[in-house]
Amino acid sequence: MKRIKTLLFLPILLLVAISVSSCSGPKPGTVCTTCTSGTGTVSLTMVADTLPANPSLLTFRVTITGIALVNSAGTQQALTLNSLPVVDLMRLQSDSLFLGTFANIPAGQYTGVIVSFSNPVITFLNDTAGTLQGCVSGAVCPQVALVASGTPQASLTFTVSSTTAAGIGIDLNLSNLLTISGASLTVNFATTNLLSAFTLPRTGTTLSATQFDLIEDFTGVVSISNQAITITSASATGRGSLTASATANTILNADPSGTLCNNPVGNVANCVASNQAASMDAVLNSDGTLSIQEIEPLLATLQDTVEGIVVANPNNGTQFTIIVTDLIPAAQNSLIGNLHIGDGLIVNLAANPSFFVDTKGLTNLQGSLSNFAGQSDTSAIHLGQSVAVHVTTFTAATGITLATAASSNTDTVTLRWSRFTSTPQAPSTPTFDIAGLPSYFNFAQGSLFTVQTTTGTPGTAGVTNFDGIPNTGSLNGDPVGIRALLLENTTNSANPAFFAAKVRQH
C-alpha cells in the first residue's frame, strides 16, 4: 500500500500488509437444483448510496461471486453470471451497474435477492485525526485489502411471469458496510440494512414506462455488428462488455478533441468504428434488451490511457498524482498492464500538452469550458477532478514507489466525470447548491458549491439524467449522488463549479 500526503501535496510512500478474506456465498444446501429452467426473465442492476462519514473513499473494489433469487418457499434460484465482475462501488454513487438479463427463471413469487461478495480493497484519504488501518492522518492510501465476512440479502416481494420481464434494482448502503473500530476498518456484508431492493424503473425517475434503468459512461473498445455496438472494457477494470442497439433516437456526440463524429449523419457507424475507444450510455429496456441512448468516440486508435481522481498537485506546473479509476490499454505493447483500479499514478506533463473536456454533449457550460480546455499546465487541475491522461512512457510501481507516467511524456489530459455524494441545500432548478463534498476535494468543510443541470426532454442531447426525482426542484435533504464536470477556475471561485450529467436522489 502506498500513501500520498494530499493535504500538503507531497507524496508519502509507505507499505502496509493487510490480510484478505472472502465472504461466503449463498448458503449450501438451499440452492434450487431442479428448477434451473423456466419461462420468466429478470434484469438486475445495482447502485450504492450513503457514504460513511470517514474515511474519504476514492475507490472501493469488490468481486461479485454469486447472485441468487429467493422464492416464496425460501428456495434460492442461483443465477449464472457471464463473468465474476470486479466492481468499483464508488462509481455506483451516480451510475448503475448492469448485472445482466437472466432468462429461463421459473415463474412465481419471489421474496428477496442474495448477493455474494469477496476481496474488498479500498483506496482512501484518511481524514480522521489518527492512524487508520496503518495509514497516517492526511495521507491517501492506495490498495488497502480488508478482511470481510457475511452475505447480504435484500427483501423484496416481486413476481416473475412468463409474459413480462421483471426488473430489480439492488442498493448497497456503503455507510453500513464500512465501519471504524479503533485504528482499524471492518467490512461486514451481513450488516443490518446493508442491502435493499426495489422494482425497476425506480420511483421518481425520468425514464419512460418501457425503460428500466440507464447504464452510463461504459467505456472501452468498440465492436460493431450492424446497429449493435459492443463496448469491451479493459480486463483490469473487471466490467466485461456491454452490447446495445442503436435506434432512431440514439445521440451521436463528438469526441473530446472535436475531430471524431463532429458531423454525424444517421447511422451509428458514421460516428464510431470497430477498434476505436468509446463511451456509451445505454437504456435497459423493460423487455431486458439494451438500446444506445448516447455514444461518443474517445480515441481513433487505442492508446495507453489512464483515468483517475486527482489527489495531489504540487502546483509546479508539470506534475500531479491520480488514483486510477479506469483504463484503456493500447492495442499492442501496452505499458500499463500492471495498473489496477485504486493504484496511484504520478503524471508528468510534456511540453505544450493538449487539454480537452469530455462534455458528452452538455452545452450549458456558461463559458466555463476554458477553465480547462486549451490550458497547458497544472494550474487548470484541481483536487477531486477526474482526468484521463495519455501515457507514452511508463515506469511501473516497485515496492513503496508509485507508478509514474515518465517526465515530459504525458501529452494529453482530458477532463472527465467526477462521481461523488454530497448534501443538497434548498431545492431549486436548474441550479442547486451542495455542501459536504468528500474530503479529497480539499475544500473547507461547510463550503457551498453550485451545480448546473440542463433540463429538457429526457433522453435528448445535452439533458441531465435524473434518478429518483424529476428535477432538482424536487430534492429533499437526503444525500445526492452526482456525476459532473468540475470546471473550477484558478481562484476556486467559479459559480457554478459543477456541471451535472447525472443527479440521483438517494
- What Rg do the C-alpha atoms of the chain give, in angstroms? 22
CB atoms inside a 10 Å sphere around CB 53:
10
Query: What's the sign of the alpha-carbon dihedral 186, 24, 90, 387?
Result: positive
pLDDT for 400: 61
Beta strands in 397-446 (DSSP E): 403-416, 418-424, 431-435
Integer distance in angstroms from the first to the last C-alpha of the chain? 32
pLDDT for 416: 98
The letter for the amino acid at 384 is G
CA distance 394 to 500: 33
- State the chain's maximal CA–CA distance in angstroms: 66
CB 313 within 8 A of CB 292: no
- The domain over range 211-299 is classified in CATH as 3.40.50.720: no
pLDDT for 406: 58
Task: Name the residue ranges covered by the structural domains of the chain.
Answer: 4-199, 211-299, 305-416, 418-505
pLDDT for 4: 63
pLDDT for 2: 52
The letter for the amino acid at 43 is S
pLDDT tens for the chain, residues 1 to 506: 555 654 433 333 222 222 223 333 333 222 333 344 578 999 999 999 999 999 999 999 999 999 999 999 999 999 998 777 899 999 999 999 999 999 999 999 999 999 999 999 999 999 999 999 999 999 999 999 998 888 888 999 999 999 999 999 999 999 999 999 899 999 989 888 899 999 999 988 888 889 999 999 999 999 999 889 999 999 888 889 999 999 999 999 999 999 999 888 778 999 999 999 999 999 999 999 999 999 999 999 999 999 999 999 998 899 999 999 999 999 999 999 889 999 999 999 999 999 999 999 998 897 899 999 999 999 999 999 999 999 988 888 876 677 777 554 789 999 999 999 999 998 999 999 999 999 999 998 889 999 999 999 988 999 999 999 999 999 998 999 999 999 999 999 999 999 999 999 98
Buried b (16+ CB within 10 A) or exposed e, 82-95: eeebbbbbbbbbbb
CA distance 316 to 1: 26
pLDDT for 14: 27
> Is the peptide bond prior to 201 cis by the omega test (within 30 degrees of 0)?
yes
Cross-strand pairs, 480: 422, 505
Q: SS3 sequence, 171-206?
A: EEEHHHHEEEECCEEEEECCCCCCEEEEECCCCCCC
Phi, psi angle pair for 198, to nearest 5°: -150, 155
